[in-house]
Amino acid sequence: MSDSNSFKTTSNGETTVQIGNHTGIETPFFAPEVKNWHYDLHVTLDYREALDDYNPILVPAWDWPRLREKNAILQRTGEDGETPIGENEVEKLEENHPLIHFFPPELFAFRGKTNILRTYLLKHDKEAKSEFKTAFQEGKIETALDYLPKFTRPFIRSNFNPILRDFGVAKGAVSDTGEDPGEIWKNLPELHYDGFFSQIADEAMGLPSSVVIPPVPLIRRYDSDLISAVCKANSKMSEFARTDGEPRSFFHLYLHYSAFSDGSGNEEDTASKALKILRSEVERGDYAGIALTVYKGEEVFESSTAPRVGTFFRNLSSFAEEQSLPLICPRSEWLGLWATDTGVDGFSSLYNGNWVYRSGAGVDNVDQYGYTMVPSESRSLKLQSSDGTDIEDHISNGGLSGLDELPDVPPKPPADYEPENELQAKYGSSFYYRRNFGKPQKLNHVWEARQVRSAGDSSPARDHLDDSKNEYVEFEDNS
């Protein structure tokens, strides 16, 4: 890393970091991840006062310009119900909070995600979206692919079946390559990065305070060629994401949870080998931070790899400290909170609690209400359940607790709302419930981060989680 850049400072035992143009961000912090405008962005704007000063926010790289310009966002009104305030709200959000532009890496990791990737890429251009569909249905595959960035085309080409299903076209109507995404990463021409990565960087750098976490290959087992692709992707983004000569790109490592446990005997596991490469690349490169995304991080405790993962986090955190770089863990939720004891500076979660982008929604009425966070138990529960405690139980016992700015009672259906069933009569429509109660509760992670910051013991996150009822957080008995 260049000696002229320092993005992390420790003084009197307290650590602060710089992200984008914002300095003095207290750690550890929780950064909510915005996926859509109708839920996530509305909730972020509605409850901006619940966030910490300069609280980082993850936004979807490539798709953020579309979300912020949605009429439903720009036409948000003030307390009088008439004065438009949406545009000013978004501008204040961009000005007062560093935005971490994060392209969902799983969209380049699995052949089954090609329909979500195609939708994601074409959301911002309705005409291109329509033309892609028409050309695809007519079997004009090259014409269809021309509407997508060159970088992304081989990933789409690897598996057309999900797209055929979406368009109602018979399976096998067009043939795909069947190529594994890892192999695609290893063979991507360097020039194909330029148009795609430069657009992501330009959109981020055009805002008051932003950084970029680039998409990189998923590492399951050590593969030197795939590791080289990880380094190339990070290096390319570091070329484009700069402001006044300063780096604004994070070095991103994307590890499958099994990468922590594939070593045997004296052999190092994949994660440890990858960490050595990261150290080398960051030392000679120019980055604004380090990001570690663990695929299926909820499996870490269930697979009994928590001790190895803890050691990995400590080693990575120590290196980040040496380099004066912030270390954040996207999509990590309570795994990330636990990791703050090892020196991780920030953790994040999607508002819906998922670890990856998914398509479709639950058919069952209860499923449509999603999962709601219970901060006192460090877990998320369905509204109703046939096998144990649920949110309805908590509501009947007085509601939820957490940030003072968040509701602790269930939302009420609008006065003019005609319920179609008992659930809606009690809690409003699933849309109303999720926007006004379920998703805002996710911001209680901000409260958890504050609790960790204010605690005086050596392992505050562990102590907080020790009494949790979370199904995937299990610590080994050290007695």
**Span 233-260, average pLDDT:** 96
Query: If pLDDT is split at 50, 70 and 90, which confidence band does 73 have?
Result: very high
Averaged pLDDT of the chain:
92
Separation of alpha carbons 408 and 411, rounded Å: 9
What's the token pair of residue 168?
A: 């109602």
| 189-229: pLDDT as tens digits | 999 999 999 999 999 999 999 999 999 999 999 999 999 99
What are the C-alpha distances in Å from 264 to residues 260, 261, 267? 11, 8, 5
pLDDT on residue 304: 75
What are the C-alpha distances in Å from 318 to residues 178, 312, 446? 41, 10, 24
The DSSP bridge pattern shows strands 242-243 and 246-247 to be antiparallel
Is residue 234 scored above 50 in pLDDT? yes
Q: Is 67 exposed, middle or buried (0-12, 13-18, 19+ CB in 10 A)?
A: buried
Q: Which amino acid is residue 356, in one-letter code?
A: V
Q: Is 381 helix (H, G, I), strand (E, B) or coil?
A: strand
Separation of alpha carbons 439 and 435, rounded Å: 6
Residue in 9, 10, 11 with CA at minimum distance from that of residue 19: 9
Is residue 421 scored above 80 in pLDDT? yes
Sequence-distant (≥ 6) Cβ neighbours of residue 305 within 8 angstroms: 257, 260, 261
Is 301 within 8 Å of 472 (Cβ atoms)? Answer: yes
Return left, alpha or beta for 476; rule: phi > 0 is left, psi -120 to 50 is alpha, else beta: beta
| 356-407: pLDDT as tens digits | 998 765 557 899 999 999 988 999 999 999 877 899 998 888 888 778 778 8
Query: If pLDDT is split at 50, 70 and 90, which confidence band does 255 have?
Result: very high
Q: Percentage of the chain with pLDDT > 70? A: 96
> DSSP code of 385?
-
Q: Where are the beta strands (DSSP E) in 299-364?
A: 327-329, 346-350
Is residue 153 scored above 50 in pLDDT? yes
Is residue 42 scored above 60 in pLDDT? yes
Is residue 416 scored above 80 in pLDDT? no
Query: If pLDDT is split at 50, 70 and 90, which confidence band does 479 have?
Result: very low
**Span 37-61, average pLDDT:** 96
pLDDT on residue 389: 87
Q: Is 71 helix (H, G, I), strand (E, B) or coil?
A: helix
Residue in 157, 167, 184, 176 with CA at minimum distance from that of residue 129: 167
pLDDT on residue 344: 97
The DSSP bridge pattern shows strands 250-256 and 289-295 to be parallel
Query: If pLDDT is split at 50, 70 and 90, which confidence band does 473 have?
Result: confident
What's the token pair of residue 33?
A: 């991840």
Weakest-pLDDT range from 179-188, 217-226, 351-360 = 351-360
pLDDT on residue 361: 56
Q: Percentage of the chain with pLDDT > 90? A: 77
Sequence-distant (≥ 6) Cβ neighbours of residue 445 within 8 angstroms: 30, 32, 333, 337, 347, 349, 373
pLDDT on residue 303: 72
What's the token pair of residue 173?
A: 């109507």
pLDDT on residue 363: 59
